[in-house]
Amino acid sequence: MSESSPSRRRAAGGVKCSTHGVRIVVVTIEPPDPFGNAASRWFYVLFRGLVARGHDVTMLSSCSDATSRARAEELFQRPDYDLRCFPIEAEGFFASKLHSAREPFSYVFSKAMRAELNRLLDQGLDVLHLEQLWCGWLGWRVPDKCLLNVHYLFSADWQGSEPSGIYDRMRRQLTFHAERRILRRYSQVTTLTDRLARDIAVLTGKAAPSVVPLGIDPSLYEFVDSDPPGAPTVGLIGNFSWHPTYLSGIRLVEKLWPRVKERVPTPSSC
């Protein structure tokens, strides 16, 4: 049996796995947590689904939230799963700025996480699955073995908004350049929406990537089929520090809400 076979590799780490599946290393920007943010909920489904299909999967996750990491590690325990979480390392001011200039948003990947990925690459794999654009910085060694799944593009999210100053203009130019650089590095790309697929095709000059929407496990969330008591209420779920959500909130209040009130003139709240 070769050193890089799935059975041999798993035996070394104490993790059992099918010897018939594909050897996959998944890199994520958050842990696979079904009660975390939207990306974490998708990573939960992805990890469970790949393992359930008999593949030999290791997931390397950058972690910004200790509580979310703890939930993920409780759900994905050995020997059934191989989850390895890495907290974001704090860097000095000048080191952080240097990394941001060379590889924007790469600060979320610690030295330990990079070292672990390089060790796994040395052992051999079939697919390096990179979840979210900035994970593309980690697949530079083996672009032909990578699948890059793009959740969003700043160049799309910032459309229609003007830079707030010289620094913001420079930051945007650096970010847009990094997006093009990463996307042009990889031939196997997927994304979430038709609009993003078209945007990626423009940036790369290649055919539009496949569209694969995110999924969640609906069995984990209680469904309430009755309306809550009181007046009708309209809400918007999202982080308003994220520019697209902020713009959506403005659009809801200024454009959509007046039209809703015209059709539903009963007392209501937003």
pLDDT at 2: 34
Tens of pLDDT along 79-93?
999 999 999 987 665
Phi and psi torsions of 183, nearest 5°: -60, -35
Query: Which residue do the tokens 């018939």 mark?
Result: 20
- Whether residues 156 and 188 fall in one domain: yes
Q: How far apart are CA 160 and CA 81, in angstroms?
A: 44
- Whether residues 92 and 211 fall in one domain: yes
- 173 falls within a domain: yes
Give the distance, in angstroms, between the CA of residue 228 and the centroid of all CA atoms in the same chain.
Answer: 33
Tens of pLDDT along 64-75?
999 999 999 999
Alpha-carbon distances of 85 from 54, 59, 134, 232, 249, rounded to whole Å: 22, 8, 17, 43, 34
Helices in the chain by DSSP H: which ranges? 6-13, 38-52, 66-75, 93-102, 111-123, 154-157, 166-185, 194-204, 243-251, 257-263
- Whether residues 205 and 239 fall in one domain: no
Task: Identify the domain boundary among 199, 220, 241.
Answer: 220
Residue 255 domain boundaries: 225-270
| Average of per-residue pLDDT across 218-244 | 81
- 39 falls within a domain: yes
pLDDT at 239: 79
Tens of pLDDT along 6-51?
333 333 333 344 445 799 999 999 999 999 988 999 999 999 999 9
Q: Is the peptide bond preceding residue 79 cis, with omega within 30 degrees of 0?
A: yes
Residue 1 has pLDDT above 80, yes or no: no
Report percent pLDDT > 70 for the chain.
88
| Average of per-residue pLDDT across 56-63 | 97
Q: Note the pTM of the prediction, 2 decimals.
A: 0.82
Contact (CB, 8 A) for 110 and 86 = yes
Tens of pLDDT along 114-149?
999 999 999 999 999 999 999 999 999 999 999 999
Tens of pLDDT along 147-180?
999 999 999 888 877 888 998 898 889 999 999 9
| Average of per-residue pLDDT across 225-229 | 80
pLDDT at 12: 32
- Whether residues 165 and 127 fall in one domain: yes
pLDDT at 101: 75
Number of domains present in the structure of the chain:
2
Distant-in-sequence, close-in-space partners of 110: CB < 8 Å, separation ≥ 6: 62, 86, 87, 88, 89
- Whether residues 134 and 237 fall in one domain: no
- Whether residues 160 and 261 fall in one domain: no
- Both structure tokens of 178: 């990094």
- Whether residues 21 and 39 fall in one domain: yes
> Taking every pair of C-alpha atoms in the chain, what is the biggest distance, in angstroms?
73
Average of per-residue pLDDT values in the chain = 86
pLDDT at 103: 87
- 1 falls within a domain: no
- Whether residues 115 and 232 fall in one domain: no
Contact (CB, 8 A) for 53 and 38 = no
